[in-house]
Amino acid sequence: MDEKNYVKFDRARFMILTENMMRIEFDENEIFEEAATQIVVNREFDSSVKFDILEKSDGIEIITPTVHLYYKGGDFSSRSLFADFKFNFSNYANRWYFGQAIEGNLGGTTKTLDKIDGGCELEDGILSKNGFAFLRDDSLAMTKTGDIRGIRNNQIDLYLFAYGHDYRQALQDFYHLTGETPLLPRYALGNWWSRYYDYTEESYLALMDKFAVHQVPLSVAVIDMGWHCVDDVPIRFGSGWTGYSWNKAWFPDSRRFLAELHRRGLKTTLNVHPADGIRAFEDDYEKVAKSLNLNIDLEEPATFDFDSPTFRETYFNDVHHRLEDEGVDFWWLDWQQGTSSKSGADPLWQVNHYHYKDIQRKGQNDIILSRYAGPGSHRYPIGFSGDTVISWASLNFQPYFTSTASNIGYSWWSHDIGGHMHGMKDTELSLRWLQLGVFSPINRLHSSNSLFTSKEPWHFDAVTEVTMEEFLRLRHALIPYLYSANIRTHLEGRPLIEPMYYEYPDSEEAYCHPNQFMFGTQMMIAPITSKSDAELQMAHVDVWLPEGVWYDFFTGQCYQGGIEISVYRDSSQIPVFVRSGAIVPLDKNPLANDEKASELEWHIFPGETGTYTLFEDENETTVRFDGKTLKLREKNPSNRHHSVKVFGQEIASELMGDFELEISETSPIWDFETALFGRLDIAEIAYDKKDVIYQKLSQMTDHDKQIAYIQQLDNKSLANALFEIIYNKKS
């Protein structure tokens, strides 16, 4: 930072990073930390930031456009350090005193959901409904080469975020401070198959082939614990959880196995638990022992120690790189033991930091799958959220948990879709969880080592199987849209999944629907996380539709916004909404699993003029639709084919390159009487009652009379389900 942005007084130092962000430091010896830390990697902001300093007889005051900070000197306390904020988002909460708990923090995330059945408490994020929040940096200092230096100079190191309700700007500056989110490889955005199960080479490949027969695309094959020796580890070595030697009984030729997965277009990751280091039963032990001067005769173990450069070198070069040479693409680092190291760093953070650094030597924006290790962990994607309990409560917590993690910059969670353990078989729960997975950052189907918790679609009844397979194909159709959002996250600091209050920060409704979230720039998701009504054969979710016109992405059903409404869907549907003017690209050939979609299908939702830019590695495609004319421009024109749908109706196909297309008026595919019949037809109520309701509502032309009629029904759930389509008729 430019020295003019520093304010030093007594034993404290203040760095004005932006008009909204300030670093607040205190050190008894007045030696302040200049190095990067595990959390903070860049303090270089615009040096032209404006602020004023008032020197008083009893201290100093620092004034920025959003903060008036007071420091009286001496140790930090509620009497010596406090601040006023220039917001009016709450009564009596515009002043902060040092040490005071801050109300209104919108939450962040937590390290793991292991064994959680339902919700859990989240750590704070850097966003607050009151307009200000703090990030405390107690992490260790780093050397210029990216290793732990150890001792911190500062006794107190705080970062004040005072961005009001400009949540996106706060997050962008947070990324500037703590490092950008890396770009994910395209394959990470497809469907992952993962199961804790004793597969063999033959059974695993047969399963992959069965997915292909069912026309279910996969992009990542996860091999859990059973790939390495577990139960047959000699007892003198202790636990078999840490292992790096293939189980030859199940996988006699690991190179052949991995090559077969690659031939099927799959990337492969292996699960490892590094805690116990490299022991004498491992295939690579002699090389490791030689590198570390271990006593081979005494079977001296190579104890896990990421503070040691020598251990790290042999750990990667002699063990992991050999396995990568066989065909392993990346690692699932399922660290579960230990919280301390010689340097004082959390070993989990060390595993993430060094493994991610090592995997980047390939130059492919590759990934690891590991657990969250505190603020700054977004630099090491992807996050494994842990072994959740299979329950409706767990499912209901997951949308909120995922979107709220964006408040601490953590945007690429990978959950055990369907839940990991315990619970009971519940077909509807499994389906609803898979539907959420399709609209999650990463869609990794997973389950425990129970014989009965498998998530294959054909493990369920025929109707559920069809729906699951359709949604898994949809996930791959969405990859162009997802990859474009991935680029935005990397370059612009905009997460794929955002809480509603990012887009609507001053609407109270945005804070009252914690499970509703934005999915990229064009889509809004309201996942169903509760069981269906037995009579209606539908489940519902309470949705807030902001002002404007909204469409159901699947049916074209039109809604007038500015309302909170109960939305009902049968098991084959999930509420996905798009604004008037939305444009969504889909891969028309999702089974191809190509690096780049050869044919795009553009879904257009008319009304407002809409513009959307699809970002790709070497191309940008911008589409604009004003209600009549559709214009498509490619930055680097290609021979890709395009087709266009408005309200789901195909308008044109086999378009290539840049084009303009005049589109005549089209009618929405949603029809009131068809929807009315469908709602009543699926409901398990008396036929006579259905006939009466259908005749009454289909013959009424007055909207208010229809509303008055359904309000008299004794089945209030049915009345609410019918209200949704009557409201849509008016819209």
Domain boundaries in the chain?
Answer: 3-87+131-178, 186-384, 490-662, 672-730
Q: What is the pLDDT of residue 628?
A: 84
Encode pLDDT of 261-316 as tens digits. 999 999 999 999 999 999 999 999 999 999 999 999 999 999 999 999 999 999 99
pLDDT at 407 over 80: yes
Q: Is 582 helix (H, G, I), strand (E, B) or coil?
A: coil
Q: Which residues, including other chains, have CB under 8 Å from residue 361's CB and lie 6 or more apart?
A: none
Number of Cβ within a 10 Å radius of residue 642: 23
Phi, psi of 73 (to 5 degrees): 90, 165
What CATH number has the domain spanning 186-384? 3.20.20.80
What does residue 667 show for φ and ψ, rounded to 5 degrees? -100, 145
Is residue 45 a contact partner of residue 16, using CB atoms and an 8 Å limit?
A: no
Domain 3-87+131-178 sits in CATH at: 2.60.40.1760
pLDDT of residue 636: 82
pLDDT at position 703 is 85
Q: What is the pLDDT of residue 638?
A: 77
Q: Over the chain, what is the mean pLDDT?
A: 93
Q: Where are the beta strands (DSSP E) in 424-562?
A: 443-445, 497-499, 517-519, 523-525, 539-545, 549-552, 558-560
Q: Which helix (H) or strand (E) holds 331?
A: strand 330-333
Q: Point out the least confidently predicted range of 44-53, 154-163, 554-563, 722-731.
A: 722-731
Residue percentage of the chain with pLDDT more than 70: 97
d(CA 30, CA 27) in angstroms, rounded, equals 5
Tens digit of each residue's pLDDT (9 = 90 or more) over 22-34:
999 999 999 999 9
* 3-state secondary structure at position 148: strand
653 — pLDDT class (breaks 50, 70, 90): low
Of 358-367, 482-491, 617-626, give the range with the top mean pLDDT: 482-491
> What pLDDT, on the 0 to 100 scale, is given for residue 580?
94
Higher pLDDT, 595 or 649: 595
Cβ atoms of residues 17 and 5 within 8 Å: yes
Residue 666 has pLDDT above 80, yes or no: no
Q: How many CA atoms lie within 13 A of 407 on its CB side?
A: 31
Residues 179-232 pLDDT 10s = 999 999 999 999 999 999 999 999 999 999 999 999 999 999 999 999 999 988
Strand partners, 599: 641
Lowest mean pLDDT among 64-73, 434-443, 532-541, 699-708: 699-708
Burial 70-85 (b: 16+ CB within 10 A, else e): bbbeeebeeebbbbeb
> Quick count: other Cβ atoms within 10 Å of Cβ 166?
16
Per-residue model confidence (pLDDT) at position 365: 84
pLDDT at 729 over 80: no
| pLDDT band for position 668 (cuts 50, 70, 90) | low
Q: What is the pLDDT averaged over residues 693-708?
A: 90
- Residues 257, 456: Cα–Cα separation, whole Å: 21
Question: Where are any strands of DSSP class E within 509-648?
Answer: 517-519, 523-525, 539-545, 549-552, 558-560, 563-569, 576-579, 583-587, 599-604, 610-615, 620-625, 629-634, 641-646
In whole angstroms, give the CA distance from residue 43 to residue 267.
Answer: 37
More confident residue, 184 or 660: 184
Tokens linked to 128:
């607050």
Query: Average pLDDT in the 512-516 region?
Result: 97
| pLDDT tier for residue 1 given thresholds of 50, 70 and 90 | low
- The pLDDT of residue 649 is 63
pTM for the model stands at 0.95
68, exposed or middle or buried, with CB in 10 Å at 0-12, 13-18, 19+? middle
Q: Beta strand 383-384 with 413-414: parallel, antiparallel or unpaired?
A: parallel
Q: Helices 716-730 & 672-682, crossing angle to 10 degrees?
A: 170
Q: State residue 336's pLDDT score.
A: 62
- Mean pLDDT of all residues in 634-662: 78
Q: If you ran DSSP here, which 8-state letter would residue 479 be given?
A: H
Q: Is 293 exposed, middle or buried (0-12, 13-18, 19+ CB in 10 A)?
A: exposed
Query: How is the beta sheet containing 12-16 ordered, strand by strand?
Result: 6-9, 12-16, 21-26, 156-161, 133-136
How distant, in Å, are the alpha carbons of 336, 368, 637 from that of 377?
16, 12, 37
Minimum mean pLDDT range among 12-16, 340-344, 479-483: 340-344
User: Average pLDDT for residues 670-687, to the nearest whole number?
Assistant: 91
**Are 651 and 666 contacting, i.e. CB atoms less than 8 angstroms apart?**
yes
The candidate with the shortest Cα–Cα distance to 416, out of 271, 207, 530, is: 271
Task: Give the list of residues 6+ apart from residue 57 with CB closer than 8 angstroms, or none.
Answer: none
Interhelix angle 427-438/462-477, rounded to 10 degrees, is: 10
Compute the radius of gyration of the chain from its Cα atoms. 28
Residue 596's pLDDT is 84
SS3 646: strand
Tokens, residue 100 = 């005071």
Q: Which positions ≥6 away from 601 have C-beta within 8 Å? A: 477, 585, 586, 587, 588, 642, 643, 644, 645
**CB contact set of 551 (below 8 Å; sequence gap of 6+):** 557, 558, 559, 577, 578, 579, 580, 582, 605, 647
Separation of alpha carbons 196 and 199, rounded Å: 9
Query: Can you list the alpha helix ranges (DSSP code H) found in 143-294?
Result: 167-178, 201-213, 254-263, 285-292
Phi, psi (rounded to 5 degrees) for 77: -155, 175
* The one-letter amino acid at 489: T
Determine how many CB atoms are found less than 10 A away from the CB of residue 637. Answer: 12
Q: Which of 79-83, 110-114, 428-432, 726-730 shows the lowest mean pLDDT across its residues?
A: 726-730
Give pLDDT, residue 101.
Answer: 86
Q: Give me the CATH topology for the region 490-662.
A: Immunoglobulin-like (2.60.40)
Span 608-643, pLDDT tens digits: 899 999 999 989 999 999 888 899 999 987 788 998
The two three-digit tokens of residue 728, written as one number: 């849509």
What's the average model confidence in pLDDT over 560-581?
96
Would you say the CATH fold of 490-662 matches that of 3-87+131-178? yes
| Rounded average pLDDT over 658-663 | 80
Q: Are 294 and 285 spatial neighbours (Cβ–Cβ below 8 Å)?
A: no
Q: CA 347 to CA 339: how far, in whole Å?
A: 6
